[in-house]
């Protein structure tokens, strides 16, 4: 996923054409980004095809409603399209896009909370829909019993938005702590601290049920 | 390694993100610390739970891309209407910073235009500023001009305001003290008004110096007696005091050119400035001269100080208004 997003996008101030061409050949996103910055919608649509799954995954694991998640994902891409001319290539395009995604998602969650429209307690909606919605094989069948599902879901819903976002990005989307730090615009130590706190909080909230759930998972 | 430092590294150790040296140090601490060992076990357990419930990334609906493409092209069309292609790239679009700078410039221009009339007429004053004006306005005797009449009314309401119209110079110590309670001007005693002295005083030379004094310029020593240099200029309301000796400028000129000029001026004199001085025929004035001589340097310093006070007043007022605008 992150391997797809290449490094170094866009022309930096004072950068020579040769070095920029060298970078564009090494970076599959660079040429598309350059064309998109010149107003090429087709080039930006190619970028959308590359990143729509990752962007939607982050949004959908944080926003309960599928419709709301799709609307927000579209808004993220529209925002990226409007501001792509300000992208200078200091970071990877994927990191830049995911930073927009994280910020937009946290902002939307706050907006939904203010409108009392967020209901993560609903077992049929929210995080659990994307955490355990596949009735696959192996220990997940055991772990995702109705009781376990509800317990983990409630424990995750009690986390703050930043802690839950760190958990989602690290344990569900498999981003490294360095990448999460870039996305959430904080230090790597802060990311580790948030993950540590989230794990301790989840354990405390799960209580006695956590031991039995872990035992089921191990078996 | 203590527990506080070890606790921050537990999760990294559980995920294998520590280097070998730090990991070995942490293991040594864990071997000796039961509490950290228990917490390490809990973190590993929770990490296992979270990873076990992880599912493949959710996928958007089938029409997600087509809807987004339509929105992108719609937005591109709107941008093309707003910004012609020649301006769309690489010329940057106006940002909020530019808009803010424009708004600030408008506020500054509006504030300047607001105070401009007062600055031009010299009637600008600020709250709390000392009444240090040395030149005050008096109503013009010519009431036929609306502007002069209105300024006369304003001067009567606020005697401390100064204007280029209807200047009067007074040397009456009592009235000067009443008009200048702050004592910013050097008040000198004046002799009783004597018609004879007034008729024979060197008034014309003082009158010709009047614009320079009004403008706050230092008075040079050339062509002026010590009494003239020490003249205190004040603008007072039109003198209607019974028995007050006033004399028109033409009479003063006649007396001055007659050769019988008295060295000192004791009586206040009222007259009209000639048009060549730039004040017009309708400007009445009243001149009072202090008897005690004053050095040229003191007169110059006083003029400069008066000028500096006026400039400071104006700038202080502009600053106060600007602060009020931005606070609002």
Q: pLDDT digit string (tens) for B202-248?
A: 444 444 455 555 555 444 444 444 444 444 444 444 444 444 444 44
pLDDT at A190 (0 to 100): 93
Structure token digits, residue A87? 């992208």
Structure token digits, residue A95? 């990191």
Does position B155 have pLDDT exceeding 70, yes or no? no
Contact of A194 with A175, CB cutoff 8 Å:
no
Contact of B296 with B86, CB cutoff 8 Å:
no
When scoring A56, A199, A206, A218 by the number of chain B Cβ atoms within 10 A, the one with the most, hence best to mutate, is A199
Question: Is A81 within 8 Å of B17 when comparing Cβ atoms?
Answer: no
Question: Is A210 within 8 Å of B49 when comparing Cβ atoms?
Answer: yes
The maximal CA–CA distance of chain B, rounded, in angstroms, is 120
Q: Could you give the C-alpha distances from B227 to A186, B201, B230, B233, B297, in angstroms and in order?
A: 78, 10, 5, 13, 14
Of the two residues B42 and B215, the one the predictor is more confident about is B42
Question: Is A214 within 8 Å of B69 when comparing Cβ atoms?
Answer: no
Question: Is B89 within 8 Å of A39 when comparing Cβ atoms?
Answer: yes
B70 pLDDT tier (thresholds 50, 70, 90): confident
Q: Which chain B residues touch A195 with a CB distance below 8 Å?
A: 11
Q: Is A78 on the interface with B (CB under 8 A)?
A: yes
CA distance B72 to chain A (A): 7
Contact of B150 with B121, CB cutoff 8 Å:
no
* Stretch 107-126 of chain A: residues touching chain B, C-beta under 8 Å: none
CA distance B223 to A43: 86
Summarised one tens digit per residue, pLDDT across range A197-206 is 999 888 888 7
Q: What is the mean pLDDT of chain A?
A: 75
Average pLDDT score over residue span B62-91: 67
Nearest chain B residue (CA) to A143: B53
Q: Could you give the C-alpha distances from A66 to A61, A153, B194, in angstroms and in order?
A: 10, 17, 102
pLDDT at A119 (0 to 100): 53
Question: Is A78 within 8 Å of B52 when comparing Cβ atoms?
Answer: no
pLDDT at B79 (0 to 100): 60
Q: Using CB atoms, which residue from A44, A192, A203 is nearest to B11?
A: A192
Structure token digits, residue B141? 């005797």
Intra-chain end-to-end CA distance of chain B, in Å: 57
pLDDT at B183 (0 to 100): 42
Q: How many CB atoms lie within 10 A of CB A109?
A: 19
Summarised one tens digit per residue, pLDDT across range A78-106 is 999 888 888 887 788 888 999 999 999 99
Average pLDDT score over residue span A182-194: 92
Question: Is A130 within 8 Å of B55 when comparing Cβ atoms?
Answer: yes
Summarised one tens digit per residue, pLDDT across range A47-86 is 888 898 899 999 998 887 888 889 999 999 999 988 888 8
Q: Which chain B residues touch A131 with a CB distance below 8 Å?
A: 53-55
CA distance A69 to chain B (A): 9
Query: Residues of chain B whose C-beta is under 8 A from some C-beta in A?
Result: 7-8, 10-12, 17, 39, 42-43, 45-61, 64-65, 67-69, 71-73, 75-76, 85, 88-89
Q: Using CB atoms, which residue from B55, B75, B89 is nearest to A133?
A: B55
Contact of B229 with B219, CB cutoff 8 Å:
yes
The maximal CA–CA distance of chain A, rounded, in angstroms, is 62
Please give the helix or strand (H or E) that residue A74 lies within, else none: helix A66-82
Q: Which chain A residues touch B77 with a CB distance below 8 Å?
A: none
Summarised one tens digit per residue, pLDDT across range A3-47 is 333 333 333 333 333 343 434 445 778 888 888 888 888 888 888
Contact residues for B243 (Cβ-Cβ < 8 A; gap 6+): none
pLDDT at B190 (0 to 100): 47
pLDDT at A23 (0 to 100): 42
Does position B326 have pLDDT exceeding 50, yes or no? yes
Least confident of A117-126, B52-61, B296-305: A117-126
Structure token digits, residue B17? 């993100």
Burial (CB count within 10 angstroms: exposed 0-12, middle 13-18, buried 19+), residue B324: exposed
pLDDT at B243 (0 to 100): 45
Does position B85 have pLDDT exceeding 70, yes or no? no
CA distance B254 to A19: 92
Question: Is B54 within 8 Å of A202 when comparing Cβ atoms?
Answer: no
pLDDT at A212 (0 to 100): 62
Question: Is B65 within 8 Å of A52 when comparing Cβ atoms?
Answer: yes
Burial (CB count within 10 angstroms: exposed 0-12, middle 13-18, buried 19+), residue A188: middle
Burial (CB count within 10 angstroms: exposed 0-12, middle 13-18, buried 19+), residue B210: buried
Contact of B39 with B67, CB cutoff 8 Å:
no
CA distance B89 to B84: 9
Q: Is A205 on the interface with B (CB under 8 A)?
A: no
pLDDT at B149 (0 to 100): 52
Q: Which chain B residues touch A218 with a CB distance below 8 Å?
A: 48
What are the backbone angles phi and psi of residue B100, rounded to the nearest 5°? -65, -40
Q: Which chain B residues touch A70 with a CB distance below 8 Å?
A: 60-61, 64
Of the two residues A170 and A150, the one the predictor is more confident about is A170
Average pLDDT score over residue span B72-81: 68
Q: How many CB atoms lie within 10 A of CB B35?
A: 11
Q: What is the ipTM of this complex?
A: 0.73
CA distance B133 to B119: 14
pLDDT at B133 (0 to 100): 45
Please give the helix or strand (H or E) that residue A69 lies within, else none: helix A66-82
Structure token digits, residue A67? 């419709």
Contact of A98 with A55, CB cutoff 8 Å:
yes
CA distance A68 to chain B (A): 11
Rg (CA), chain A: 19
CA distance A198 to chain B (A): 10
Q: Which chain A residues touch B17 with a CB distance below 8 Å?
A: 177
CA distance B91 to A143: 57
Q: What is the mean pLDDT of chain B?
A: 63
């Amino acid at each position: 996923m992150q391997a797809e997003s290449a490094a170094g996008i866009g022309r930096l101030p004072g950068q020579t054409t040769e070095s920029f061409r060298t970078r564009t050949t090494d970076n599959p996103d660079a040429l598309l980004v350059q064309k998109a910055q010149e107003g090429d919608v087709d080039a930006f649509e190619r970028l959308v095809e590359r990143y729509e799954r990752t962007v939607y995954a982050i949004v959908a694991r944080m926003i309960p409603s599928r419709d709301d998640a799709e609307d927000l994902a579209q808004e993220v891409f529209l925002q990226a399209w409007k501001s792509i001319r300000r992208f200078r290539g200091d970071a990877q395009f994927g990191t830049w896009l995911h930073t927009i995604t994280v910020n937009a998602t946290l902002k939307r969650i706050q907006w939904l909370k203010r409108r009392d429209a967020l209901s993560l307690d609903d077992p049929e909606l929210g995080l659990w829909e994307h955490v355990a919605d596949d009735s696959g094989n192996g220990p997940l069948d055991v772990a995702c019993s109705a009781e376990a599902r509800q317990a983990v879901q409630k424990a995750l819903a009690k986390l703050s938005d930043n802690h839950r976002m760190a958990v989602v990005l690290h344990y569900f989307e498999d981003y490294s702590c360095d990448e999460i730090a870039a996305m959430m615009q904080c230090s790597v130590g802060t990311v580790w601290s948030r993950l540590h706190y989230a794990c301790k909080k989840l354990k405390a909230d799960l209580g006695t049920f956590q031991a039995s759930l872990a035992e089921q998972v191990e078996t | 390694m203590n527990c506080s430092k070890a606790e921050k590294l537990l999760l990294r150790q559980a995920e294998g993100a520590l280097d070998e040296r730090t990991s070995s140090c942490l293991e040594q601490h864990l071997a000796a610390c039961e509490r950290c060992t228990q917490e390490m076990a809990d973190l590993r357990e929770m990490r296992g739970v979270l990873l076990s419930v992880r599912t493949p990334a959710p996928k958007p609906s089938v029409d997600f891309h087509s809807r987004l493409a339509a929105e992108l092209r719609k937005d591109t069309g709107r941008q093309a209407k707003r910004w012609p292609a020649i301006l769309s790239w690489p010329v940057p679009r106006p940002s909020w910073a530019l808009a803010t700078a424009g708004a600030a410039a408008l506020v500054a221009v509006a504030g300047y235009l607001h105070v401009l009339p007062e600055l031009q007429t010299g009637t600008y004053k600020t709250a709390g500023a000392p009444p240090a004006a040395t030149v005050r306005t008096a109503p013009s005797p010519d009431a036929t001009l609306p502007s002069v009449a209105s300024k006369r009314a304003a001067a009567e309401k606020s005697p401390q305001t100064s204007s280029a119209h209807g200047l009067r110079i007074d040397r009456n110590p009592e009235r000067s003290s009443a008009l200048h309670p702050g004592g910013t001007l050097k008040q000198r005693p004046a002799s009783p008004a004597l018609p004879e002295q007034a008729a024979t005083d060197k008034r014309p030379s003082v009158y010709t110096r009047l614009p320079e004094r009004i403008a706050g310029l230092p008075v040079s020593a050339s062509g002026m007696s010590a009494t003239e240099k020490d003249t205190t200029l004040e603008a007072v309301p039109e003198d209607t005091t019974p028995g007050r000796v006033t004399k028109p400028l033409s009479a003063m000129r006649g007396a001055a050119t007659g050769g019988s000029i008295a060295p000192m001026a004791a009586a206040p004199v009222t007259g009209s400035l000639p048009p060549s001085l730039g004040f017009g025929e309708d400007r009445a004035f009243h001149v009072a001269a202090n008897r005690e001589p004053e050095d040229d340097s003191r007169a110059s310093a006083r003029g400069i100080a008066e000028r500096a006070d006026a400039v400071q007043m104006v700038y202080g007022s502009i600053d106060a208004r600007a602060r009020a605008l931005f606070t609002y």
